């Protein structure tokens, strides 16, 4: 294992986030075929100050494979578009019914419900346009589109969300909770790392390592998210906290308690880092991100 601390990731993210934001800005300057209100709604959510963890994972994974970060940007933006669409739809009154996201009013609160639904729909479609239109070899583009569609689809993100909504009413055990979050949260983490690896020409062994790492940090991220919902502060988080406990939701601290949840997150981060040995010193930033997942305050 390398000697890395979360600050290595924090510094890298501060340097690279503006590159991601600039690319997302360029990709959302639609001409007047796109109605102005729809464009504003998309940009309101897409350009809001998110942490950009998933696009950073794409770029870090491509770089760990020795690939150029700028060339990997379309894959990074495609994943962030899927993530933002999922946040817009999750915030809708029919789902989590939230009024605050990324420190700003949610899309439907700032605009209206139909516009927010359409903004999400537009981003979901555009993610694939961006990937398919990138300057990757055709076989790489096809592979990336397949993996992203699977991660966003009924057996992953959407299926996890559906089960999460039903768990609010039915309860469940630890295995069910992990099954939800491997799909709802984990699948986008894993596909971010895999897309970076695929465009970066990763070997089978490297792709398998990225997958194992992604599954572990995805789950650790969700456990920490549940703990922050319980203990965190709305201003720092940029979204409402203590919603899960108030809605009787199935969460890790509810099932395991705070202490055991923290221990589980720590164990997952250790496992995640152990999976990266195949990358040698090039794993340093990914290891630092794993530590950041444990230490983050928002
Ligand atoms: C609507 C298909 C569909 C899915 C919604 C995104 C989502 C699935 C639900 C949101 C609630 C939630 C707790 C999701 C788990 C993943 C998560 C913590 C998302 C927030 O990700 P961050 O913290 O957000 O990376 P930023 O804003 O920084 O990008």
**Could you tell me the sign of the dihedral formed by the alpha carbons of 230, 231, 237, 240, in that order?**
positive
Nearest-angstrom CA–CA distance, 248 and 169: 8
Ligand 1 atom nearest to 238, measured from its CA: 27
Is the Cβ atom of 50 under 6 angstroms away from ligand 1? yes
In CATH, the architecture of 4-295 is Orthogonal Bundle (1.10)
pLDDT tens by residue, 261-296: 999 999 999 999 999 999 999 999 999 999 999 998
Tell me the CA–centroid distance for residue 87 and ligand 1, in Å: 5
Nearest-angstrom CA–CA distance, 118 and 83: 15
Tell me the CA–centroid distance for residue 138 and ligand 1, in Å: 30
Calculate mean pLDDT across residues 176-197. Answer: 96
User: pLDDT value at position 105?
Assistant: 98
Q: Name the phi and psi angles at 101, rounded to 5.
A: -150, 130
Terminal CA-CA length for the chain: 26
Is the Cβ atom of 152 under 6 angstroms away from ligand 1? no
Tell me the CA–centroid distance for residue 83 and ligand 1, in Å: 7
Calculate mean pLDDT across residues 11-39. Answer: 98
User: pLDDT value at position 62?
Assistant: 98
Nearest-angstrom CA–CA distance, 112 and 40: 12
Tell me the CA–centroid distance for residue 161 and ligand 1, in Å: 10
Calculate mean pLDDT across residues 47-63. Answer: 98
Is the Cβ atom of 220 under 6 angstroms away from ligand 1? no
Ligand 1 atom nearest to 89, measured from its CA: 1
pLDDT at 234 over 90: no
pLDDT tens by residue, 84-137: 999 999 999 999 999 999 999 999 999 999 999 999 999 999 999 999 999 999
| Selection from 42, 29, 197 nearest residue 117 by Cα | 42
Tell me the CA–centroid distance for residue 298 and ligand 1, in Å: 12
Tell me the CA–centroid distance for residue 32 and ligand 1, in Å: 30
Is the Cβ atom of 161 under 6 angstroms away from ligand 1? yes
User: pLDDT value at position 190?
Assistant: 98
CA distances to 26, 84, 140, 142 from 195, rounded to whole Å, are: 21, 18, 9, 11
What is the reported pTM?
0.95
Contact (Cβ atoms closer than 8 angstroms) between residue 286 and residue 276? yes
Q: Best mutation site among 184, 229, 292, 296 for ligand 1, i.e. most ligand atoms within 8 A of its Cβ?
A: 184
User: pLDDT value at position 169?
Assistant: 64
Q: Which two three-digit tokens encode residue 281?
A: 């010193």
**Which residue has the least CA distance to atom 29 on ligand 1?**
50
């Amino acid at each position: 294992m390398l000697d890395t601390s979360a600050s290595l990731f924090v510094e890298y993210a501060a340097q690279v986030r503006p590159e991601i934001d600039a690319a997302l800005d360029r990709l959302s300057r639609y001409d007047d075929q796109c109605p102005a209100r729809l464009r504003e709604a998309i940009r309101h959510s897409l350009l809001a100050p998110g942490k950009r963890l998933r696009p950073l994972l794409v770029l870090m994974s491509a770089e760990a494979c020795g690939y150029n970060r700028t060339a990997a940007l379309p894959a990074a933006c495609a994943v962030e578009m899927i993530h933002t669409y999922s946040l817009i739809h999750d915030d809708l009154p029919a789902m989590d019914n939230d009024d605050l996201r990324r420190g700003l009013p949610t899309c439907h609160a700032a605009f209206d419900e139909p516009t927010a639904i359409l903004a999400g729909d537009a981003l979901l479609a555009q993610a694939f346009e961006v990937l398919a239109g990138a300057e990757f070899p055709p076989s790489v583009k096809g592979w990336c589109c397949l993996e992203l569609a699977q991660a966003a689809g009924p057996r992953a993100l959407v299926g996890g969300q559906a089960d999460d909504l039903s768990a609010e009413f039915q309860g469940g055990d630890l295995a069910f909770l992990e099954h939800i979050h491997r799909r709802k949260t984990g699948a986008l983490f894993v596909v971010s790392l895999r897309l970076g690896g695929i465009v970066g020409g990763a070997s089978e062994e490297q792709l398998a390592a990225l997958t194992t790492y992604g599954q572990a940090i995805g789950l650790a991220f969700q456990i920490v998210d549940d703990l922050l919902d319980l203990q965190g502060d709305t201003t720092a988080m940029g979204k409402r906290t203590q919603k899960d406990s108030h809605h009787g939701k199935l969460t890790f601290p509810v099932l395991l308690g705070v202490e055991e949840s923290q221990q589980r997150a720590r164990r997952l981060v250790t496992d995640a880092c152990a999976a990266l040995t195949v990358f040698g010193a090039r794993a340093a930033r990914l290891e630092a991100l794993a530590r950041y997942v444990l230490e983050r305050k928002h």
